[in-house]
Amino acid sequence: MFFSLKLLLGKHVNTYTFTKGLAEILALQETKGLPFSIIRPSGVCPSIVEPKVGWVDSYTALVPFIDTIQAGIFRSGIIGRKNISDVVPVDMVSNLTIAVSWKVANDGAQNNDAPSIYHSSSATSNPIVFEEMFRLTIENAKIYPPSYIAWMPQIRYHETKLADNIDRFFTGYLFVNVMDFMLVMFGGKPKAAKSLDRIMKMYDVLNFAHTQPVNVISNNYKKLMNLMNEYDQKEFYFDPSTIKWPEYNKNMLFGIRKYIWKESGNPQDSFIGKKKLRIIKAVSFLLNVLALGGAAYGFKKGGECLLSKL
């Protein structure tokens, strides 16, 4: 059977949002007379408190972008820098799920034809734009560089696919293949190109989210909080307005290193990354000097050639 995926998806941006919508429709049809609510989390990221600060077990949502930016591998993209980076810690999603279950159990099957929908989202209560999230990532990565840092962390924002593809080729694919070649020469295992290829596949899938504004209204969680006593609000915290983004970003970086790459995750153990970063800065400075010298030499020779013809 042949069909158009674009036609099948309709208004949905990808198969992920399509299947989520399909699941909600199925749930609404099959839960008549049952106590039921819907929880819609945004981009789920490392924990803010539990089970451990920065805990993460999946390389999805914003995690691979944060990780490859801190490593200096992901360096450019078609990203709306002023668009909201709608992320929420995984433990807040879990706590909201528990709280909603408690409310549904108390309410029973009331108003089942129109179940309550709870958005676990930071977009309206505590928004942070991509530009600020990535700025914090780069700032923290330069202070506490990871041991696997490949180049100076930075990010360039493009508005056209052509500009992004050119930038990605020279500072992305070409660069990581040279890095892998150097690793093989010194007896290491090539992994930079594989990491970039993985992030690029995810980038293409999530490109819509990076370039489009977020429209999420998440006020139901506030009503739910008002029904809870003070102890339960602290024990089952899910209010995204309490997130302190600079601190959370730093903990997210170390959480990725510890729980994804099995490093210590301790800021005091950044000496390997700092040593690599000093070497990278020296090499970068040397390359810039050589590039400027080459450009100056080319202008000089071009000028001499032009004068000789006059």
Kindly give the confidence (pLDDT) of every residue in the chain, 310 residues in length, as a single tens digit, with 9 standing for 90 and above: 445 777 777 777 677 778 888 888 888 888 777 888 889 898 899 999 999 999 999 888 889 889 989 988 888 888 888 889 889 999 999 999 999 999 998 887 665 567 788 999 998 889 999 999 999 999 999 999 998 888 889 998 888 888 888 887 777 777 777 777 766 776 666 666 666 666 666 666 555 555 555 566 667 888 999 999 999 999 999 999 999 999 999 999 999 999 998 887 777 777 888 888 888 888 878 877 887 877 776 676 666 676 666 6
Q: Is 62 in the same domain as 105?
A: yes
Token couple for 36: 């039921």
Q: Considering the domain boundaries, does residue 2 fall inside one?
A: no
Q: Is 180 in the same domain as 167?
A: yes
Q: Considering the domain boundaries, does residue 171 fall inside one?
A: yes
- Domain holding 28, by residue range, is 7-34
Q: Is 27 in the same domain as 165?
A: no
The predicted structure's pLDDT at residue 20: 83
Q: Is 97 in the same domain as 207?
A: yes
The predicted structure's pLDDT at residue 1: 44
Q: Considering the domain boundaries, does residue 50 fall inside one?
A: yes
| Calpha distance 8→18 (Å, rounded) | 9
Q: Is 52 in the same domain as 133?
A: yes
The predicted structure's pLDDT at residue 10: 76
Q: Is 21 in the same domain as 97?
A: no
Q: Considering the domain boundaries, does residue 56 fall inside one?
A: yes
Q: Is 25 in the same domain as 162?
A: no
The predicted structure's pLDDT at residue 256: 95
Q: Considering the domain boundaries, does residue 54 fall inside one?
A: yes
The predicted structure's pLDDT at residue 129: 93
The predicted structure's pLDDT at residue 307: 64
By the 8 A CB rule, do 140 and 277 touch?
no
Q: Is 19 in the same domain as 156?
A: no
By the 8 A CB rule, do 24 and 40 touch?
no
Q: Considering the domain boundaries, does residue 304 fall inside one?
A: no
Nearest to 46 by CA among 273, 192, 243, 272: 243
Nearest to 153 by CA among 134, 132, 169: 134
Query: What residue has token string 């992004």?
Result: 164
Q: Is 82 in the same domain as 16?
A: no
| Calpha distance 310→199 (Å, rounded) | 53
Q: Considering the domain boundaries, does residue 295 fall inside one?
A: no
Q: Is 24 in the same domain as 142?
A: no
Cβ burial 288-300 (10 Å sphere, 16+ → b, else e): eeeeeeeeeeeee
Q: Considering the domain boundaries, does residue 103 fall inside one?
A: yes
Instruction: Name the CA radius of gyration of the chain, rounded.
Output: 24
Global pTM reads 0.82
Q: Is 26 in the same domain as 118?
A: no
The predicted structure's pLDDT at residue 2: 47
Q: Is 14 in the same domain as 78?
A: no
Please give the full DSSP string across the chain, using - where no structure is assigned.
----HHHHHTT-SSHHHHHHHHHHHHHHHH-TTS---EEEE-EEES-SSSSSTT------TTHHHHHHHHTT---EE---TTSB--EEEHHHHHHHHHHHHHHHHHHTTTTTTS--EEEE-STTTS--BHHHHHHHHHHHHHHS--TT--S----EE-SSHHHHHHHHIIIIIHHHHHHHHHHHHTT----HHHHHHHHHHHHHHHHHHHHS-------HHHHHHHHS-HHHHHHT---GGG--HHHHHHHHHHHIIIIIS-----GGG-HHHHHHHHHHHHHHHHHHHHHHHHHHHHHHHHHHHHHHH-
Structural domain count of the chain: 2
